[in-house]
Structure 1
Amino acid sequence: LEMARGTAVAERDLRTRFMNQVSHELRTPINTIVNFAHILAQGEMGNVNPKQTDYLGRIEKSGWHSMSVLNDLLDLAQIEAGEFRLKRQIVDLETVCEDAMSSVRSLLRNPEIALVRDYPDKWPRILVDSKRFRQALLNLLGNAAKYTDGGQIILRVRTYEHTATFAVEDSGIGIPAEHHETIFQEFRQLNEAMARQRVGTGLGLPISRHLIEQHGGTLTLNSTVGQGSTFTITLPLAPSPASIESDAESDAANGRTTAKHATPQPVAPKRPI
């Protein structure tokens, strides 16, 4: 049994090292292709006609898709190896949500689909890794965009006594009840014929669920065929500065010595270039 476990660990580590190496080797040429296609499309090397602009745009879009697939595979390898690490802090959640909503617009199958923000007046205070939380949120929004041909996509944020929720609701094709857990399995897409029409690896949802669970939260699905789907992220609220101060005063009154609490400061996430 120990020998089998050791072999499995060695194979997993080898796979992770291989993915890291492949990622490094592929990122540079993909970035080169994407950047030069963008430069040419902008006319910086000379005039281009509409057909050339269209072709260059397709090259650039395909390059970004290839990079996205590569990132998903690398994330999966890190998850399997237990190497996924989060840098959690208090962040500007409105900025994170707006970044994700702005990014998903280019993924819409129909430009007339409405992107609706249903935000609270007062945003919740949550400890998150802004990069990874945005990744999970964008995966959900991108999934909604992929399977919604008309209507609207809503990002709804709510705060409760101990938790906050971020729900992505769409008016898309919906998912049968018997597949509500299947879609969170790696490389699984429900309708193979439809999957060929809608680009994806089948890794976005399982990676998103792992990211949210790493934050101590949950990712759930409520969906009805023909009516749409709602994916809901639920995360615990961070202690308020007042409660941290109260705990420190209580410890002092009881003669206990505790490590000094450091109140995380809001950090605005970097916008994608």
Structure 2
Amino acid sequence: MARVVFLLIVLCQVAEGHAATSTLTLGPDLSYRVIAEDGKPLSFQEVRQKFEEADAGPYQTDIFSAGYSDTTYWLTFHLPQKAFAEGKRLLRLAPTYLDHVRVHYREVAAGDAPWRIYNTGDLSPMPRGDLDYRFAVIELPVPDAGRGYEFLIRVQSTSATLLHATFWSEASFANSTASADSFWGFYFGLAIFSSTFALYLALVFSSRLLWAVFSFSVSYVLVACIQGYIDWLSPLPSLHLQHYLTSTSVMLSYPVLIWMAAESIRLREHLPVLYRYVTRTAFAMAFILLSIPLGFFGQGMAILVSIYLVLVLVLLVSTGYVIWVERFRLSTLLLAAGPLILMGVSGIALSSAFGFIRFNANIYLIWQYMLVVNMMLAIGITVARIVGQKREQADKEKLALELDIEREARFHQRQFMGLVSHEFRTPLSIISATLQNLEGGEVQSEALAMRYRKMSRAIDRLIQLTDNCLADARLAAQSLYVDRQPTLLHVLVHSAAAIVGLSERHQLRVTVDGLDRSDTEVFGPTVLVDTALMKIALSNVLDNAVKYSEGGVVHLDCRTGRERLTMSVIDQGCGISESEAPYVFEQYHRVSAGGGSGRQGVGLGLFVARQIAESHGGKLELTDSGAEGCRFEFTIPFREESDRVQ
């Protein structure tokens, strides 16, 4: 991009790099006087008489610019003999969009020399001068009398009224036109490429910004009209296509620039209401085109520019806000810079066209070059942004696919584990019942009784594992139903804590509201829970207390309040490290810290326990973990409102 900008600047300097000594400009180099027709057309003789009566006022040294006006102006000036030191001169008249320009000139002689007349302008046939060129060019031979030429020029236009007249030597004109045409060939080639590329990308990516960038290509049509290429290269110059395209393209370029600026700063994402206001107003500006066939182009331009300037102020403030919100992101700064510079340059050009400031051709050149630079920059950044978005979208789709695969695998895993657990449950129950019968009979030795207890402990663990797998599958189902039934607290505690009694290294201590109930068969109130699920949840936590401690007391503390039941399981293990504490309730996570041995399991116990607590409207938390052990705390609703005892 930097090389393109540099090349444009170099070509610009070559195209406009004629020597100041060989070219004269009306105004800066040749002063002139002006007369305006006050509604009544003036004849050539009347104008001459007014100039001779000094009604034209003082001489002016600026390039003539009268703004958008239907008034006809007459200019008079003198081209001295010394201007012909290098031979004959070529008078080039610009801009091309002046409707009518009539040039009266004659040699300054002692007698009354005859006047020569040339009619040119946007509505004149081609060629519009002595040379077949895109600008009107008049050949001025070296005057015989040696006093130069006297000029009287009539200028009339429905567009911006200005006259940029320059006098060239043959050599400087040839060099300038050759380099200028080479430059404009490169310029329009780049414009066609960038416009076609923008259209292709807009069709491929369906980006609003790319469509706005492509729409802004209408400005290239305006440049081609200003440089005179449309009529010069047109096979039917009599249609005056350039005349109408100039008016249309200049009116369309401003609303399209507003739209492109709004898309460049992503106003739709940050300020959607303001975006709708700006874009709808820009769309409404396009209807001012109706002023062209109605003959109110100047008034239409005044209305359009007034709306345009208001929108520019709105976009300037909005751009500052968006840049601040996006924390001065480089892509946002670059995308916003192009339209902002164009709006700034167009504001200066409009002030010049309306006659508020002095005309400067360099302003229009900068605006023309910035069109290409802005389009290339916008295309590059937009494509980079879209590619990034496509990459993010692809990553999201890949992640979604992987999640779907994971969900399906988890579903099949649960089905398999549920099936296996269900098939294990029946034979394990038979083995457990048989073992109870053996324990109830005559035991021949203490060693055999110990074996029976170990077998019972192992079977209970297997039964607990199958219950966890079945509970996990049930909890994962979308149609989970918690069957709450009135259950005596002591029944729930005794059935869940039986797993502690099978350990030879641990003792169970049960307290209810501060009172020791370890040796009491019946205690506590009635709670409303799903007995099977709550038994699994409580036994899982108690089983962990046994597994992750070498021995000692496993304390089950129950506190009954008016609204909730709290059950705390306290062990005397080595605790859980701070790094692993946040993950103890994750599915399939097994804690590696703490003491104890024989840690069987697959990491479902605490996960299932918390899920069961939450399905009852309660919670399970690790409230304490240290070198002296862990404390897990259940908090569940004591009973539903309808089941409270009065």
Q: Give the TM-score, by structure 1 length.
A: 0.69
Greater CA radius of gyration, 1 or 2?
A: 2
Cα distance between partner residues in 2 of 1:69 and 1:22: 11
2:495 maps to a residue whose letter is D
Residues 211 and 55 (structure 1 numbering): CA distance in 2 closer, same or farther, change over 3 Å? same
Equivalent residue for 1:145?
Answer: 546
Cα distance between partner residues in 1 of 2:407 and 2:580: 31
Cα distance between partner residues in 2 of 1:29 and 1:239: 37
**210-219 vs 57-66, which moves further:** 57-66
Cα distance between partner residues in 2 of 1:118 and 1:193: 28
Stretches of structure 2 lacking an aligned partner (at least 5 in a row) = 1-396, 516-522
The offset of 1:82, in angstroms, is 3.1
Residues 85 and 195 (structure 1 numbering): CA distance in 2 closer, same or farther, change over 3 Å? farther
The alignment partner of 2:505 has SS state of coil
The offset of 1:182, in angstroms, is 1.0
Equivalent residue for 1:65?
Answer: 461
Matches within 5 A, 1:152-191: 152-160=553-561, 162-191=563-592
Cα distance between partner residues in 2 of 1:126 and 1:114: 22
The offset of 1:51, in angstroms, is 5.7
The offset of 1:33, in angstroms, is 3.9
Cα distance between partner residues in 2 of 1:104 and 1:206: 19
Preserved contact between residue 509 and residue 555 of structure 2 (Cα < 8 Å): yes
Residues 160 and 28 (structure 1 numbering): CA distance in 2 closer, same or farther, change over 3 Å? closer
Q: What does the per-residue CA deviation read over 1:236-258, in whole Å, with 9 as the maximum and x for residues that have no partner?
A: 343556xxxxxxxxxxxxxxxxx
The offset of 1:126, in angstroms, is 4.5
Preserved contact between residue 464 and residue 536 of structure 2 (Cα < 8 Å): no
Return the match for 1:110 from 505, 512, 516: 505
Cα distance between partner residues in 2 of 1:223 and 1:231: 7
Residues 50 and 12 (structure 1 numbering): CA distance in 2 closer, same or farther, change over 3 Å? same
Corresponding residue pairs, total: 240
1:18 maps to a residue whose letter is F
The offset of 1:36, in angstroms, is 4.1
1:65 maps to a residue whose letter is R
Equivalent residue for 2:152?
Answer: none
Alpha-carbon RMSD across the aligned residues, in angstroms, is 3.6
Matches within 5 A, 1:17-28: 17-28=415-426
2:483 maps to a residue whose letter is K
The offset of 1:140, in angstroms, is 1.5
The offset of 1:32, in angstroms, is 4.0
Equivalent residue for 1:93?
Answer: 489
Matches within 5 A, 1:1-273: 13-40=411-438, 55=451, 58-101=454-497, 103-108=498-503, 110-111=505-506, 113=507, 115-119=509-513, 126-160=527-561, 162-191=563-592, 197-238=598-639, 263=643
Preserved contact between residue 90 and residue 127 of structure 1 (Cα < 8 Å): yes
Equivalent residue for 2:70?
Answer: none
**80-89 vs 221-230, which moves further:** 80-89
Equivalent residue for 2:144?
Answer: none
Cα distance between partner residues in 2 of 1:202 and 1:9: 19
Q: What does the per-residue CA deviation read over 1:196-217, in whole Å, with 9 as the maximum and x for residues that have no partner?
A: 6323332111000000000111
**199-208 vs 147-156, which moves further:** 147-156
Q: What does the per-residue CA deviation read over 1:115-138, in whole Å, with 9 as the maximum and x for residues that have no partner?
A: 242336895665311221222122
Residues 175 and 24 (structure 1 numbering): CA distance in 2 closer, same or farther, change over 3 Å? closer
Cα distance between partner residues in 2 of 1:172 and 1:193: 6
Equivalent residue for 2:271?
Answer: none
The offset of 1:64, in angstroms, is 3.3
The alignment partner of 1:181 has SS state of helix
2:424 maps to a residue whose letter is L
Preserved contact between residue 108 and residue 146 of structure 1 (Cα < 8 Å): no
Preserved contact between residue 124 and residue 164 of structure 1 (Cα < 8 Å): no
Cα distance between partner residues in 1 of 2:451 and 2:527: 43
Stretches of structure 1 lacking an aligned partner (at least 5 in a row) = 242-262, 266-273
Residues 18 and 88 (structure 1 numbering): CA distance in 2 closer, same or farther, change over 3 Å? same
- Percent identity between matched residues is 27
Residues 107 and 206 (structure 1 numbering): CA distance in 2 closer, same or farther, change over 3 Å? farther
Cα distance between partner residues in 2 of 1:51 and 1:151: 23
Q: What does the per-residue CA deviation read over 1:59-117, in whole Å, with 9 as the maximum and x for residues that have no partner?
A: 4443333232222222222323335421113322233224333x133243514x35242
The alignment partner of 1:212 has SS state of helix
